[in-house]
A and B are shown apart, each in its own frame.
Chain A
Amino acid sequence: MECKLAQAQLEQLKPSNEPELLAHLRKCGECRDFAEDLRILRLLRSLPAPEPTPGFEERVLRAASAGDEVARRVPSAIGWKLATAASLLLAVILALPEPGPVEPVPGLAQAVTAAVIPVTLALNSGRDLAGARIRVVMPEHLQLQGFENQRDLQWHTDLKAGANRLTLPVQRRSRSGVETILIEIEHNGARREFRVPVRGGINAQGGAEEKVQTI
């Protein structure tokens, strides 16, 4: 047996090796090294690591938002926004910018009932995730602008490799303490949940106290 064929067979991950391959390995040091490197590589790729302890994401959010006083302008387009960027392995809630009250559209009579707090997430994906399901569950005291009567929203979308931005136009229904939005992303049976705490209430000028949160 030639080394090339032996190494190709070793890469095939068979439960037991052919007698011919074993005979080749007994006499070929180079292929034995190759087999050992392959074994170590497979072991390295399977090295486990623990999950963070419960509440970790919330603790990080609190620590990050408590330490930051930077005010940011609301993006002009408030609403669902998915652009390119990131992985189910990594979710970064980029910004909860200081909104200021939403400007009413000139000519329209309806009043803005509550200021919008845009919560922007960057979902970082290592690869394209076609048809991923995104689910957002709103807590009792928060609502999404345009979906006032729906607390549980789901839709499918294609997430690109890299960062995918998602901006939630959050409105507070009433004064309350910390409220947590549940975001669930599912693709081909793999599922990840993120809990996004939103704290603070509407201030006297109608703007929100909340600024930025990061996971």
Chain B
Amino acid sequence: MHRMAYRWTQDRAEAEDLVQDVLTRLFPRLDELEAVEKTGPWLMRVLYRRFVDLYRRNASSPIDDTAEPLADDDFFAERMQDQRDHVEQLILQRELNRALATIDAGWRDVILLHEVEGHSVLEVADILDISVGTVKSRLHRARKKLRSALESGTKTVPEPC
């Protein structure tokens, strides 16, 4: 849950707050949780709805300047310090993370849930409350968009000194 919360918020502290908020709210619904057959996608759906309530709806409010999450470059910068042998891979991952931040939120959601977190198309449809056909078409468009975003972005990896 924390990992997905981070992918949506792109902020470590916000991700923790979001997970805490969701789990605290789930507390009185433990019976419901126990009856759920596949807990993972169910929790993801609850997390997604809360994320939309807290972040995306606020983002459209005229008195709240909260915007869509930006790519968390600081996280990649830290990892580059820690994993100097994998800098090239991290640069590419950072570019991809930036590209993800530029695409439509609905497309980003399906990519994050399906390609990154490995949920099936059916599960993604259930989590986001959209049809399977919509998931598939968003996936197709998002992949295309990501490809062009990466092609137009900085893909060159600096030569080692």
Give the interface segment out of A23-31, A39-47, A130-138, A193-201. Answer: A39-47
Contact B27 A40 (CB under 8 A): no
* In contact, B40 and A40 (Cβ under 8 angstroms): no
Q: Contacting chain B: which of A9-17, A49-57, A151-159, A181-189?
A: A49-57
B6 and A40 contact, CB distance less than 8 A: no
Distance to closest chain A CB from B43 (angstroms)? 7
Contact assessment for A50 and B115 in the assembled complex, using a CB-CB cutoff below 8 Å: no
Given A52-B16, A92-B33; A215-B23 close (CB under 8 Å)? yes
> Which size class do B's interface residues fall under?
35 or more
Set of chain A residues within 8 Å of B89, measured between Cβ atoms: 46
A-B CB contacts (within 8 Å), total count: 109
Main secondary structure of the interface of B (DSSP, over half): helix
The segment from A59-67, A99-107, A168-176 found at the interface with B is A59-67
A63 contacts B24, C-beta separation under 8 Å? yes
Judging by beta carbons under 8 Å apart, are A40 and B150 in contact? yes
Render B18-50 as a binary contact track against A, CB cut-off 8 A, 1 for contact: 011001101110100110111110010000000
Contact between chains at B97 and A47 (CB < 8 Å) = yes
B56 contacts chain A at the CB level, 8 A cutoff:
no
Q: Is B143 an interface residue (CB 8 A)?
A: yes
Given A41-B115, A92-B33, also A86-B39 (CB < 8 A): yes
* A64–B27 touching, CB < 8 Å: yes
Tell me the smallest distance from the CB of B1 to a CB of chain A, in Å. Answer: 6
A interface residues, tally (CB under 8 Å): 42
- Verify B2–A56 contact, CB threshold 8 A: yes
Contact yes or no, B39 A46, CB < 8 A: no
Q: Is B137 an interface residue, CB under 8 A from the partner?
A: no
Q: Which among A46, A51, A94 is the interface contact of B93 at CB below 8 angstroms?
A: A46
Residues of chain A with a CB closer than 8 A to B37's CB: 162
For residue B101, give the distance in angstroms from its CB to the closest CB of chain A.
Answer: 12
Q: Tell me, yes or no, whether A126 is within 8 Å of chain B by CB.
A: yes
**Which residues of chain A come closer than 8 Å to B3, judged between CB atoms?**
49, 89
A43 touches B23 (CB 8 A): no
Chain A's nearest CB lies how many Å from the CB of B39? 5
Given contacts A40-B147, A53-B12, contact A86 B40 (CB under 8 A): yes
Chain A positions 102 through 123: 1 when the CB is less than 8 Å from some CB of chain B, otherwise 0: 0000000000000000000010
Cβ contact within 8 Å between A162 and B39: yes
A47 cross-chain contacts in B, Cβ below 8 A = 7, 93, 96-97, 116
Question: In this complex, which of A50, A85, A90 has the most chain B Cβ atoms within 10 angstroms of its Cβ?
Answer: A50
- B105 at interface, CB cutoff 8 A: no
Nearest-CB residue, chain B, relative to A163? B39
A70, B96: Cβ atoms under 8 Å? Answer: no
Docked Cα-Cα span, A33 to B75, in Å, equals: 30
Query: Counting CB contacts under 8 A, is B135 at the interface?
Result: no
* Contact pick for A40, options B79, B90, B143, CB 8 Å: B143
Binding site for A on B (CB under 8 A): 1-3, 6-7, 12, 15-16, 19-20, 23-24, 26-28, 30, 33-34, 36-40, 43, 75, 79, 89-90, 92-93, 96-97, 111, 115-116, 118, 143, 146-147, 150
Shortest Cβ-Cβ A-B pairs, 10 listed: A68-B27, A44-B115, A49-B3, A64-B24, A49-B6, A60-B20, A163-B39, A124-B39, A64-B27, A52-B2
